[in-house]
Amino acid sequence: MATDPVPFPPLARLAADLAEGRTTSRALVETALERIADPAGQGATVFVEVNADQARATADALDRLRAAGTVLSPLAGIPISVKDLFDVEGQVTRAASRALADAAPAGADAPAVARLRRAGAVIVGRTNMTEFAYSGLGLNPHYGTPLSPYLRRAPNEARIAGGSSSGAAASVADGMAAVALGSDTGGSIRIPAAFCGLTGFKPTASRIPRQGAVPLSTTLDSFGPIGVSVSCCAIVDRILAGLPPHVPEARPLEGLRLGLLTHFVTDDVEPAVAAAVETATKHLEAAGAILADVHFGPLDQPEWAERFRLSSIEAYAWHRRLLETHGEHYDPRVLVRIKKGETALAADYIDLLAERAALLDLAQRTLWRRFDAIVAPTVPIVPPRVAECDADDANYARLNALVLRNPNIFNMLDACAVSLPCHPRGQAPVGLMLAAAPHADDTLLAIARAAERVLESIR
């Protein structure tokens, strides 16, 4: 029987412990590696590759640097995990697919990975994910399905960690890494953060360089962190963005304008989610925030998200040649979604880009000028059972669409967004999503820090 997972403390505490000599990078890395290797845990499913020897050597080198008075950043010496779609020099980037198993090793780190490495992060391994990042559920028929910590002890109740950054979130929830690097095209950071009781930050898409990673949608892909606090995410985000790694001060909630999105974001919401989100918003209001319902016209259009099928079109453009030679190795459920882009014309794609540009302009005029942030449930349900997700293709498609529904709005609006845990401790994990205008990333993180304090007081 697996023991209860124990996450690492926040990065600020780990950095203080390193600075005061209460721990070493080698000790932190050994803890992470022990948890990954624990046969009673899920390390063999969460990680597709573990860098044990390299991580130990890096940790020892950073400990020597620290002893000599050199500390590269607040992330120096701390174990992190990297989603399997990022290039790491000398390793094969499989994107958790058998179709890329025989690909050549990467010749260089992705810029995001290189920036983490230069900051002194210790990469302990590559995490599992939905194949090619194309699902919000996190099921993977090739490498297994990482689990949420919720009800882990009851085998028949095993719940998904969420996707596509499933292993990223599970690695943090189980204390196999202090923070994780993930990607988010339609919710793939925020969904697993919500399902694992963690904090996940999706930056504005252009904030982090997107070279050196297997793309899903070159328009919508965003790279960002999953951690145990907003401050953890802020430190990693700024390092990824090439900015000084300081944490924005919490913005006072007094007078803050928060828009409660209407439309379908509260449709089919499970009682536990509705109760947690209602309690959270009431406490934010009691803390001084001004909450008001907000209506955004384009969301009234039936199947609005399906109309903006940028992901399938751009995914098919990248995959079409690989499908000719390795199509039989794809997860059939992923393959179906990629092939939805096969029949699109160049004119269709150009029209979609123009429609999205108009959508962004409307959002600027009607959402971002009126509100400091928009609020919605990250996901309308608590993490579903693995068996329920995998029962049949129809149920898989229904649940996948449901979990992607809310976060996908803000990818389409090129917003930055964060998911904060808001459930009572010991109960099913629930995420509260805050989203802000494109390029308002630091402002949103400052708001999220203040909101986090309120939510911690009620959890």
As annotated, the active-site residues are 83, 164, 188
Residues 6 or more apart whose CB falls under 8 angstroms from that of 221 comprise: 183, 184, 185, 205, 210, 213, 215
Question: Which segments of 196-256 are extended strands (E)?
Answer: 199-202, 222-227
Secondary structure class of 202 (helix, strand, coil): strand
Query: Which DSSP helix (H) or strand (E) runs through 447?
Result: helix 441-457
202's tokens = 């999706």
Q: How far apart are the first and last CA of the chain?
A: 28
Q: Which of 292, 279, 294, 286 is nearest to 254 (CA)?
A: 286
Kindly list the distances between the CA atom of residue 254 and the CA atoms of 13, 152, 247, 432, 450, in Å, as whole numbers in the listed order.
28, 39, 20, 19, 10
Amino acid of residue 425:
R
CA torsion sign for 214, 219, 223, 224 is negative
Asked whether the beta carbons of 207 and 109 are under 8 A apart, the reply is no
Greatest distance between any 2 Cα atoms in the chain: 62
Strand partners, 127: 47, 83
Q: How far is residue 413's CA from residue 405's CA, in Å, rounded to a whole number? A: 13
Burial state string for 298-322 with b = 16 or more CB within 10 A and e = fewer than 16:
beeeeebbeebbbbbbbbbbbbeeb
Radius of gyration of the chain (CA): 21
Asked whether the beta carbons of 356 and 217 are under 8 A apart, the reply is no
